[in-house]
């Protein structure tokens, strides 16, 4: 399948309530509704299996998309509140673009192909003519990378907030989320430019929100003799409690570089074998789209 539409600019509006969307995405991934409620995914899987890296992922993608679509109630209420509709559409489109980039076998696997197949096989759900085709489009690569890294920042931030109060010697997840936020933020800073006001504003807002939990950092550091990275820390001046801690921090950093920078593109083109092995390591070390976001970039990468 080829892409017959040019990529368009990304929409950042869903970041106004991004934590709500993260919750909805996580719920879609963890929902265990019986498969017979998603029978249309069987026929969808047969057609789309050649478009993704692993055939067994297709049905899961289909089910998660339907669950997520159904949870975004404002998509069906455009005439009532246009701003809520726009936010829901922006998030759903980002999610589809993220999934496609994570699982596709080639660059010709596009959002319009996905929407056409979903409408065709699950018409009982998407019964309105071209409803998905009107919502979904390919996001320009540069815009997608910026939106994706912002989303990943918020996923780790959300995980950090939900775990830091339960920090203990046997439950140190919050430190990993802090590390992930720090290294991801450094990449986001490198994307900052004077021409992209929207991205700059969203990154500034994230910075302010993240800094609000610094007081909690200080409290836990004093109690447990640990260190949570601040966004303003210099990479070569961070105090680490052990050599192992340094290595644990370095692995996610390299994973982030691999995903979001030209360095990763060079590695991928130079050495296919290295790419596959590194990708496996990356998948096991950073988590940003739920359990995938636990210390990865929880998405379907």
Domain hosting residue 193, numbered range: 141-285
The residues near 216 (Cβ < 8 Å, ≥ 6 apart) are 164, 165
Contact indicator for 273, 259 with CB cutoff of 8 Å: no
Question: What average pLDDT does the segment 157-185 reach?
Answer: 94
How big is the CA angle at 253 (ends 249 and 256), to the nearest 5 degrees? 145
pLDDT at residue 195 in the model: 83
Greatest mean pLDDT range, 42-46, 92-96, 134-138, 236-240: 92-96
Residue 5 resides in a domain: no
Residues 103, 193 within the same domain: no
Q: Is residue 4 part of a domain?
A: no
Same domain? For 103 and 195 the reply is: no
pLDDT-derived band at 47 (thresholds 50, 70, 90) equals confident
Give the count of domains, the chain. 2
The reported pTM is 0.79
For residue 290, pLDDT over 60 is answered with no
pLDDT per residue as tens digits for the range 182-206? 999 999 999 988 888 999 999 999 9
pLDDT for position 48: 83
CB atoms within 10 A of CB 81: 12
The mean pLDDT of the chain is 80
Q: Is the pLDDT of residue 271 over 70?
A: no
Based on the fold, state whether residues 89 and 168 are members of the same structural domain: no
Of 121, 153, 173, which residue constitutes the final position of a domain?
121
291 within a domain of the structure (yes/no): no
Residue of 82, 135, 76 whose CA lies nearest to 111: 135
Q: Using one digit for the tens of pLDDT, what is the confidence trace for 210-256?
A: 999 999 999 999 999 999 999 998 765 444 433 344 444 555 555 55
Give the pLDDT confidence score for residue 252 in this predicted structure: 56
CA distance 255 to 195: 27
Helices 243-260 + 262-270 axis angle, to 10: 80
Residues 61 and 110 in one domain: yes
Kindly state whether residues 183 and 101 are assigned to the same domain.
Answer: no
Report how far residue 181's alpha carbon sits from residue 205's, in angstroms, rounded to the nearest whole number: 14
Query: Which of the listed residues 87, 121, 155 is the one where a domain comes to its end?
Result: 121
Q: Closest Cα to residue 89, out of 113, 103, 69?
A: 69
Query: Is residue 298 included in any domain, yes or no?
Result: no
- CB burial string 49-65: b at 16+ within 10 A, e below: eebbeeeebbbbbbbbb
Are 105 and 189 found together in one domain?
no
Question: pLDDT over 70 for what percent of the chain?
Answer: 74
Nearest to 181 by CA among 163, 159, 204: 159
**pLDDT at residue 268 is higher than 50:** no
Residue 300 belongs to some domain of the structure: no
Residue 284: closest CA among 269, 294, 272: 294
Decide which of 227 and 260 is more confident: 227
The Cα–Cα gap between 91 and 87 comes to: 6
Give pLDDT tens digits for 64-115: 999 999 999 888 766 556 788 999 999 999 999 999 999 887 766 789 889 9
Give the count of beta carbons closer than 10 Å to the beta carbon of residue 156: 31
Task: Answer yes or no: do 280 and 149 share one domain.
Answer: yes
| Unique residue bearing structure tokens 């719920």 | 27
Domain-ending residue, one of 60, 87, 121: 121
Do 100 and 32 lie in one domain? The reply is yes
Q: 146 and 259: one domain?
A: yes
249 and 180 housed in the same domain: yes
Do residues 187 and 223 both lie within one domain? yes
User: Do 62 and 188 share a domain, yes or no?
Assistant: no
């Amino acid at each position: 399948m080829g892409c017959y539409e040019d990529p368009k600019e990304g929409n950042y509006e869903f970041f106004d309530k991004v934590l709500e969307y993260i919750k909805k995405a996580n719920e879609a991934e963890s929902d265990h509704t019986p498969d017979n409620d998603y029978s249309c995914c069987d026929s969808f899987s047969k057609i789309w299996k050649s478009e993704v890296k692993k055939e067994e992922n297709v049905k899961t993608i289909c089910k998660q998309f339907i669950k997520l679509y159904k949870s975004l109630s404002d998509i069906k209420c455009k005439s009532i509140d246009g701003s809520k509709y726009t936010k829901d559409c922006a998030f759903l489109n980002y999610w589809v673009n993220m999934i496609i980039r994570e699982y596709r076998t080639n660059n010709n696997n596009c959002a319009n192909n996905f929407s056409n197949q979903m409408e065709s096989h699950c018409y009982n759900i998407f019964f309105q003519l071209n409803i998905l085709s009107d919502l979904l489009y390919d996001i320009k690569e540069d815009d997608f990378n910026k939106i994706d890294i912002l989303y990943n920042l918020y996923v780790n931030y959300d995980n950090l907030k939900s775990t830091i109060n339960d920090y203990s010697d046997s439950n140190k997840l919050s430190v990993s989320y802090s590390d992930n936020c720090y290294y991801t933020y450094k990449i986001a800073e490198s994307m900052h430019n004077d021409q992209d006001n929207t991205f700059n504003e969203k990154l500034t807002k994230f910075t302010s929100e993240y800094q609000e939990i610094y007081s909690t950092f200080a409290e836990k550091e004093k109690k447990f003799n640990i260190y949570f990275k601040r966004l303003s820390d210099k990479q070569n001046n961070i105090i680490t409690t052990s050599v192992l801690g340094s290595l644990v921090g370095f692995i996610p950093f390299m994973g982030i570089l691999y995903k979001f920078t030209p360095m990763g593109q060079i590695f991928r083109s130079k050495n296919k074998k290295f790419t596959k092995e590194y990708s496996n390591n990356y998948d096991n070390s950073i988590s940003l789209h739920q359990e995938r976001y636990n210390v990865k970039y929880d998405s379907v990468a």
